[in-house]
Structure 1
Amino acid sequence: MAHGDVAHGHVAHGDVALRRVARVVLLDPAERILLLHGHEPGDPSDAWWFTPGGGLEGDESREQAALRELAEETGITDVELGPVLWHRVCSFPFAGRRWDQDEWYYLARTSQTATAPTALTDLERRSVAGARWWTCQELAEAHETVYPTRLAELLRRLLDEGPPADPETLDTEIV
């Protein structure tokens, strides 16, 4: 989530510079999605689930960032990266500051289901409490907070209809 030098790779949205982020909707052969369990540093009760991913570093592409972040956060490198599914602008408080992000969600598939982070930042070590594979049904029935908030519905449509012809713009989320 909070990764790298956020001074790099911003795009403008109104008067706010947005951090460019690549996220991964990673599916295993059973069509389960991998989510990370995050929480506010110092307050594990303020928790949520989210897709792997993070900010672009230097001059890397969004595709390169998606694969790098996935490897760092989950250890999963045997991945077939697919198309961009969704695009979302979001803004949220985390770790004492506000994050304004322009997020692209890539479809990816893997048969590698064991996870082990390889390169978490200090902030990630203090705020990421593990990973879990979810079925679409489990996600739909979950009482925990999940981002993006319509993920269960989006995943069901993806599994039923396949990827959209063009990336779908999700509602802007401001927390």
Structure 2
Amino acid sequence: MTTFTPRRAARVLLVDGGDRILLLRGFDPARPEHRFWMTPGGGLDADESPAAAAVRELAEETGLRLAPEELGTVVWRETTEFTFDSRWYRQEQEYFLARVPAWEVDTSGFQEDERNSIDGHRWWSLPELATTTERIYPAVLPTLLWEALSGGVPC
């Protein structure tokens, strides 16, 4: 029987003026061949709100500093189970939408775990996201992004 470590996380759909979303290219240090693209974000610290965690992680991973109230409402929630660095997690996470005209990503704020598991970033258009054969987390991201950009709040 698999024992899961419970975890809460917050993630950001960071969208630029061309309706492109920023994704980070990650990998599992225990399985470096397991490559994937994901939104900026990560685990909540003790007594941290999801919005506060989302903006903290966004600053660490992209250099963009926003106030929690600039994120608006949660656009999606999910519970996911995954293995990372030989440990199983059951993660409850919330996704926020943030829009910027443009942004030059600065990864100098990476923490050690990010330096050891993220090796790139890219802005993706919705058509690119919908047709890629690369692994994207969450798998429903094309639909989620389309709904968020069209004013729907899918959660």
What is the TM-score normalised by the length of structure 2? 0.88
Counterpart code for 1:22? A
CA distance in 2, matches of 1:43, 1:113: 31
Per-residue deviation at 1:111? 2.6
Gap runs ≥5 in structure 1: 1-14, 169-175
What amino acid is aligned across from residue 14 of structure 2 in structure 1?
L
In 2, the alpha carbon distance for the partners of 1:123 and 1:142 equals: 27
1:3-53 deviations in whole A, cap 9, x for unaligned? Answer: xxxxxxxxxxxx966311111011111111111100121644310001111
Q: Who is 1:163 aligned against?
A: 152
**Structure 2: stretches of 5+ with no match in the other structure:** none
Identity of aligned residues (%): 44
Look up the match of 1:10.
none
Letter in 1 for 2:64: I
- For 2:149 and 2:113, the matched residues in 1 are separated by 33
- Corresponding letter in the other structure for 1:135: S
CA-based RMSD? 1.9
| 1:125 maps to 2:135 | no
Range 19-28 or range 41-50, more displaced? 41-50
User: How does 1:3-22 map onto structure 2 within 5 Å?
Assistant: 18-22=6-10
The SS at the match of 1:139 is: helix
8 Å contact from structure 1 (residues 26, 33) kept in 2:
yes
Contact 2:97 2:148 in 1 (8 A): no
Q: Tell me the equivalent position of 1:47.
A: 35
Contact 1:50–1:146 (8 Å) recurs in 2: yes
Amino acid in structure 2 at the alignment position of 1:60: E
Aligned partners of 1:41 and 1:63: how far apart in 2? 27
SS of the equivalent of 2:58 reads helix
- Report the equivalent of 1:65: 53
Residue 76 of structure 2 is matched in structure 1 by: 86
Matching residue's letter, 1:70: L
Task: Tell me the secondary structure at the aligned position of residue 132 of structure 1.
Answer: strand
User: 1:35 & 1:125 partners in 2: Cα distance?
Assistant: 15
Q: Which has the higher contact order (CA 8 A, sep 6+)?
A: 2
Matched-pair contact (CA < 8 Å) for 1:21–1:62: yes
Conserved? CA contact 1:83–1:163, under 8 Å: no
Q: CA deviation at 1:163?
A: 3.4
